[in-house]
Amino acid sequence: MQGSKLYVGNFSYSVTKEDLEELFSDYEIREIRVIEGKGFGFVELSSPAEAEKAKASLNGKDYTGRTLRVDEARPRGSNSSDYRRGNGYNRY
């Protein structure tokens, strides 16, 4: 894993920053950001190795009745929807 920032998704909309702090309490946290009302957020850990350990441990884990998705966060604009909007796609 190259980065230390993780995408954490598929959790209940009621999950708070404090809930994620507790979930990731075994790891060295730098920053947590929950996107309210969306069921996802981002957790930045102290190193890529720490992020890899957290991902291996928590991805697919049942959390509040839902299966968590934990993966390395991608930079904004790096998903395929940018191409559908015309960003990064050359038109003739």
- Cβ atoms within 10 Å of 11's Cβ, excluding its own: 22
- Cβ atoms within 10 Å of 8's Cβ, excluding its own: 27
Q: For residue range 3-21, what is the model confidence (pLDDT) as tens digits?
A: 999 999 999 999 999 999 9
The predicted structure's pLDDT at residue 77: 73
The predicted structure's pLDDT at residue 86: 46
- Domains of the chain, earliest start first: 5-74 (3.30.70.330)
The predicted structure's pLDDT at residue 92: 35
Q: For residue range 23-57, what is the model confidence (pLDDT) as tens digits?
A: 999 999 999 999 999 999 999 999 999 999 999 99
pTM of the complete model? 0.80
Rounded CA-CA distance 48/34 in Å is 20
Q: What is the mean pLDDT of residues 72-78?
A: 82
Cβ–Cβ under 8 Å, residues 3 and 51? yes
